[in-house]
Amino acid sequence: MDIPYTVKDRPDTGLYNGKLGIWLFLASEVMLFGGLFSAYVFLRTGAESWPTGADILNVPLATLNTLFLITSSVTMVMSWASLKLKEFDKFKLYAGLTLLLAASFLVVKYFEYTAKFHHGLFPSTNSFLGIYFTLTGLHVLHIIGGMIVIFFFWMPGAKMWESDPDRFTNRIEIVGLYWHFVDLVWIFLFPVLYLL
Amino acid sequence: MSTDHHKESIWTKYIFSTDHKIIGLQYGITSLVWLLVGFILMMIMRYQLAYPGNPVPIVGNLLGEGGIIAPEMYNSLGAMHGTIMIFLGVVPLAFGAFGNYFLPLQIGTIDMAFPKLNAASYWMYFVGSIVMIVGFFVPGGAANSGWTSYPPLSVTATMGQTVWLLGMVFLITSSLLGSINILVTVIQLRAKGMTWMRLPIFVWTQFITAFLLLLAFPPLEAASVLQLMDRLVGTSFFMPSGLVVSGVVQNYTGGGSPLLWQHLFWFLAHPEVYVLILPAFGIITEVIANNTRKPIWGYKAMVYAMVFLGFMSFIVWAHHMYITGMGTSIGAFFQTTTMIISIPSVVILTTLFLSLWGGSIRFNTPMLFALGFIPMFGIGGLTGLPLGLAAADIHLHDTYYVIGHFHYVVAPGTIFALFAGIYYWFPKITGKRTNETLGKLHFFFSFIFMNGVFMPMFVQGLAGVSRRLWDGGEIYAHAADVLYLNEVMSISAWLLGLAQIFFIVNMIISLRGKKTGETNPWGATTIDWTDTTSPPLGHGNFETVPTVYRGPYEYSVPGADKDFTPQSEKG
Amino acid sequence: MADLTPEEIKHHVKTYVIVFVALAFLTVVTVAISYLDLGVGASVVLALGVASVKGALVASYFMHLIDEKITIYWTLLITAAMFLILMLLPLGNMLAQTKI
């Protein structure tokens, strides 16, 4: 006996298990980042003074990073679409591009962080930097986590395409949903931290 | 998830099993051990409260100079007692053990939606619990800033607090994975005919609990990250400017807010208390329906009340913060929502109580615990009302009254329900029966001594005795008249501990007893009882997955030949 | 999602490209706005507004929310309510704090 609805949709809900699972996980992630955003709002509103993001942070670099992530979201959904069209090579290409763009994001972040440290700006320096490093740091951890999973499906896990293509396609859809969420968080992080 | 019948090693069959029943048992055994550990910590604390200044026997030398518990050690015991009982004991037992084992059986499916994730949740819990205990062995001892870990105290505390925070990260992750599993399982894997309004109340409670855990825990995880940053990296999320401790100006950047921690903490911790009680409501409902041989009165009312309770639980949290100087308007808001949330609790308790009317009541051990639950939870709930009203709370906040209130709901409340569940489902898990005499002794003595421990706390609280006092209030004049109650409570606590021996012995001898061959000795209607062997089959639970034709509590249906009509019976 | 035809997928792909262009454009817009001196209130509203539009595009099209099932909508609705509570109530608490 196999667990039902791992690949096929359950008729009354129209969902397969993994899709519901990942959306529930994303709901919890909304609350996780929400907790940090709530802390940001609380601290900023209660603060006597608060710096403008652009005065301390590098807006052009972050804009570039935003474009990297948005593009990686496109390549991620294209990798799924390629599988739906049974074009495995295109999947590999797009998934690889996604990883490349994600890595580029991390490289930019590395330069951003080290530049801050070089100028003596640390999380402990003030509340703004504290919440900046924490929010972007947690986001970076999520990017790394996503990259590990995408890499797994890009390389060793790709053999599931041979044995169970529909299930593999669903897994890529699920990973994609996670990845888009990570992009979504950045879409809010960027203006809040850098532009306001 | 295929069922290849290759040989399973002890690792795959038991230790890293993905079978929900084994995982349920893992959660069950681990959590019962932690409940005992948490209880022992409290028995030690209660010695000092009864006899302050006297060395604690046996373990005294581990606790402080001359065998007397030092204040910091007392605080460690207290903080860890709370943490262990809630996060390592009650929730893993109520949700991880009972939920995992019985939910798939009650909805008619072969396992949870994500079996490997399920195993991962258990092991995260296990690792998290070890991390928590490691706290006792680091320099400075375990966390000692209360299970509530309020800054600035927690940020300036010794290493044990960092260990606590790391442990919480593991436990929260475990909980999140478990919640996702329960939610997807209930939504996606219900058997044919198992509509939402035919679900046993036990399943509803697990479902709502999972939602609470899913959405309420992450802000605490965020807050834990922030507190770790404050402790390890020198940020000041929670550290106010100009903090002075014992005359020494603290070296923090400042600009932070201790209240921010309180908000993020209680955003979880209030729904958490409903996490503690909802599974208990579920278990009690099963036991009462079964042992009155009639349907639950007000099934729909109960479901709607629980769903409403779940939602409301997210907007009452600041009633834990009435005395932080909040303005009257916001205090009034939270007071109003708090009063409103008492309504569904009353509805639920009333439906349980009314369900007894006209029943053919069987006074077996699970039923005794269920019957005991009702008035005990009633006391717990009623004593919550003055706490929920801001004006009265000014007098009662942080006193023993609070401790009495919440222990009544969790100890002779939830824990009685969990015992009821263990005695009720023991025959299904093992195919054997427990000893009724030992069970009844366990119940009666536990009932008496639970009240002996917790009732005097209301008296002490009303007199103004604060909580978390290492000497039980000895040095305070206002506590003098009620100080004698400390000894009463401590003796009750130790006798309560002894009463658990009836349970432990019962478990041991019953496990070594013979299988009875009965699969449904209680004559229950739900498919966990009617369509499985005892214990249920290893791979897949059911010979044939049942179809459901009716509601969960069709007892004493007029015209039926038996006094119970199984959910899966046609016609 | 399990039974989309190749034509439908190709149509989706066109949509993805359009959304990508929109997102890139909105990114430029939001950065440009930040250089204008509009005062705190307007800046916050505009920044979050643009971010919300971008987020809605990602969610609706990349995450296929626009075709999603009601169970998912319910989950997100409840989550959104809890998120708003988490954002607004502690803030409300702080703003209403008794000033000593």
pLDDT digits (tens, 9 = 90+) for B289-324: 999 999 999 999 999 999 999 999 999 999 999 999
The residue among C79, C82, C88, C89 with the most chain A CBs within 10 A of its CB, best to mutate, is: C79
Query: Could you tell me which of B373, B349, B352 has the C-alpha nearest to residue B290?
Result: B352
Please say whether the dihedral angle defined by the alpha carbons of residues B100, B104, B110 and B113, taken in this order, is positive or negative. Answer: negative
pLDDT bin (cut points 50, 70, 90) of residue B65 is confident
User: Considering CB atoms only, which of C12, C47, C79 is closest to A195?
Assistant: C47
B254 touches B241 (CB < 8 A): yes
Would you call B566 helix, strand, or coil by DSSP? Answer: coil
CATH architecture assigned to B22-237+257-530: Up-down Bundle (1.20)
Give the whole-angstrom CA distance, residue C57 versus residue C60.
5
Q: How far is CA C71 from the centre of its chain?
A: 20
pLDDT bin (cut points 50, 70, 90) of residue B45 is very high
- Residue C96: pLDDT over 90: no
* Domain extents in chain B: 22-237+257-530
B541 pairs with which residues across the strands? B537
Q: A113 lies in a domain?
A: yes
Do B216 and A5 lie within an 8 Å CB cutoff?
A: no
> Residue A144's domain spans which residues?
17-48+57-195
- Residue C25: pLDDT over 90: yes
Average pLDDT over residues B230-255: 91
- Position C97 scores a pLDDT of 80
Model confidence over B387-428: pLDDT tens digits?
999 999 999 999 999 999 999 999 999 999 999 999 999 999
Model confidence over B506-563: pLDDT tens digits?
999 999 999 999 999 999 999 999 999 999 998 789 989 999 999 999 999 999 999 9
Long-range contacts of A48-53 (CB under 8 A, 24+ apart): A50/A127, A50/A128, A51/A126, A51/A128, A52/A196, A53/A128, A53/A192, A53/A193, A53/A194, A53/A195, A53/A196
Cβ atoms within 10 Å, residue A103 = 15
Do A76 and C62 lie within an 8 Å CB cutoff?
A: yes
Give the whole-angstrom CA distance, residue A49 versus residue B104.
55
B250 touches B258 (CB < 8 A): no
- Residue B6: pLDDT over 80: no
- Position B60 scores a pLDDT of 84
- Residue C4: pLDDT over 80: no
- Position B250 scores a pLDDT of 85
Q: In this structure, what token pair is assigned to residue B104?
A: 């798939």
Give the whole-angstrom CA distance, residue B536 versus residue A72.
48
- Residue A133: pLDDT over 50: yes
User: Given CB atoms, is B390 within the 8 Å cutoff of chain C?
Assistant: no
User: Given CB atoms, is C79 within the 8 Å cutoff of chain B?
Assistant: yes
- Position B11 scores a pLDDT of 79
Instruction: Determine the length of chain B.
Output: 571
Task: Name every chain B residue with its beta carbon within 8 A of the beta carbon of C86.
Answer: 219, 267
Model confidence over B340-395: pLDDT tens digits?
999 999 999 999 999 999 999 999 999 999 999 999 999 999 999 999 999 999 99
Q: In this structure, what token pair is assigned to residue A10?
A: 């359950």
Nearest C-alpha of chain B: how many angstroms from C77?
12
Average pLDDT over residues A16-31: 97
Cα C30–Cα C34–Cα C36 angle in degrees, nearest 5:
125
Dihedral, B470, B472, B474, B480 alpha carbons, nearest 10: 160
- Residue B437: pLDDT over 70: yes
Average pLDDT over residues B91-104: 97
Do A16 and C72 lie within an 8 Å CB cutoff?
A: no
Task: Name every chain C residue with its beta carbon within 8 A of the beta carbon of B315.
Answer: 85, 89
Would you call B466 helix, strand, or coil by DSSP? Answer: strand
Residues A2-38 as b/e (b if ≥16 CB within 10 A, e otherwise) read ebbbbbebbeebbbbbbbbbbbbbbbbbbbbbbbbbb
pLDDT bin (cut points 50, 70, 90) of residue B445 is very high
Cβ atoms within 10 Å, residue B473 = 25
User: Considering CB atoms only, which of B211, B219, B327 is closest to C96?
Assistant: B327
Give percent of chain B with pLDDT exceeding 70.
99
Give the whole-angstrom CA distance, residue B136 versus residue C30.
51
- Residue B564: pLDDT over 50: yes
Cβ under 8 Å to B: A residues 31-90: 31-36, 38-39, 42-43, 46-47
The residue among A22, A65, A72, A195 with the most chain C CBs within 10 A of its CB, best to mutate, is: A195
Chains that touch B (3 or more CB pairs under 8 A): A, C
Give the whole-angstrom CA distance, residue B163 versus residue B171.
12
- Residue B472: pLDDT over 60: yes
Task: Name every chain B residue with its beta carbon within 8 A of the beta carbon of A29.
Answer: 218
- Residue A4: pLDDT over 70: yes
Nearest C-alpha of chain B: how many angstroms from C19?
30
Q: A125 lies in a domain?
A: yes
Closest A-chain CA to C15: A74
Q: Which residues contact B346 (CB under 8 A, 6 or more apart)?
A: B381
- B139, with CB counted inside 10 A (0-12, 13-18, 19+), is exposed
Closest A-chain CA to C35: A195
- Position B58 scores a pLDDT of 86
Mean per-residue pLDDT over chain B, rounded = 95
Q: In this structure, what token pair is assigned to residue B53?
A: 């200044």
Would you call B244 helix, strand, or coil by DSSP? Answer: strand
Nearest C-alpha of chain A: how many angstroms from B542?
10
Give percent of chain A with pLDDT exceeding 70.
100
Mean per-residue pLDDT over chain A, rounded = 95
Query: Could you tell me which of B131, B42, B48, B32 has the C-alpha nearest to residue B79?
Result: B42
Task: Name every chain A residue with its beta carbon within 8 A of the beta carbon of C2.
Answer: 7-9, 16, 166, 170
Tally of domains within chain A: 1
Alpha helix (H) residue ranges in B316-435: 328-354, 365-388, 390-396, 400-409, 416-430
Cβ under 8 Å to C: B residues 172-191: 187
Helix B299-312 / helix B328-354 crossing angle, nearest 10 deg:
160
User: Which CATH number goes with the domain that contains A123?
Assistant: 1.20.120.80
Amino acid occupying residue C15: T
Average pLDDT over residues B217-241: 96
Per residue, the 3-state secondary structure of B301-335, as one string, reads HHHHHHHHHHHHHHHCHHHHCHHHCCCHHHHHHHH
Residues B51-61 as b/e (b if ≥16 CB within 10 A, e otherwise) read ebeebbeeebe
- Residue B2: pLDDT over 70: no
Chains that touch A (3 or more CB pairs under 8 A): B, C
Q: A12 lies in a domain?
A: no
pLDDT bin (cut points 50, 70, 90) of residue A139 is very high
User: Considering CB atoms only, which of A2, A17, A46 is closest to B113?
Assistant: A17
Pick from A176-180, B68-72, B281-285, B527-531: least confident: B68-72
Model confidence over C60-95: pLDDT tens digits?
999 999 989 999 999 999 999 999 999 999 988 888
- Position C3 scores a pLDDT of 64
- Position C38 scores a pLDDT of 86
- Position B1 scores a pLDDT of 43
B547 touches B566 (CB < 8 A): no
Task: Name every chain C residue with its beta carbon within 8 A of the beta carbon of B267.
Answer: 86, 90
Average pLDDT over residues B93-119: 97
Give me the residue label for tokens 């959306």: A23
- Residue B141: pLDDT over 60: yes
pLDDT bin (cut points 50, 70, 90) of residue B121 is very high
Query: Could you tell me which of B4, B32, B61, B104 has the C-alpha nearest to residue B536?
Result: B104
Nearest C-alpha of chain C: how many angstroms from B188?
11
Cβ under 8 Å to B: A residues 97-136: 122-127, 130-131, 134
User: Given CB atoms, is C92 within the 8 Å cutoff of chain B?
Assistant: yes
Give the whole-angstrom CA distance, residue B363 versus residue B94.
23
Average pLDDT over residues B193-205: 97
Give percent of chain A with pLDDT exceeding 90.
93
Q: Which residues contact B227 (CB under 8 A, 6 or more apart)?
A: B149, B151, B154, B155, B165, B237, B238, B261
Task: Name every chain C residue with its beta carbon within 8 A of the beta carbon of B329.
Answer: 96
* Domain extents in chain C: 1-68, 69-100
Do A27 and C76 lie within an 8 Å CB cutoff?
A: yes
Give the whole-angstrom CA distance, residue B473 versus residue B482.
9
Euclidean distance between the first and the last CA atom of chain A, given in angstroms as a whole number: 56
Cβ atoms within 10 Å, residue C17 = 11
Q: In this structure, what token pair is assigned to residue B559?
A: 């015209």
Nearest C-alpha of chain C: how many angstroms from A139?
16
Q: In this structure, what token pair is assigned to residue B157?
A: 């505390």
Nearest C-alpha of chain C: how many angstroms from A57?
13
User: Given CB atoms, is C89 within the 8 Å cutoff of chain B?
Assistant: yes
Cβ atoms within 10 Å, residue A177 = 23
Amino acid occupying residue B395: H
Q: Which residues contact B405 (CB under 8 A, 6 or more apart)?
A: B380, B383, B384, B387, B458
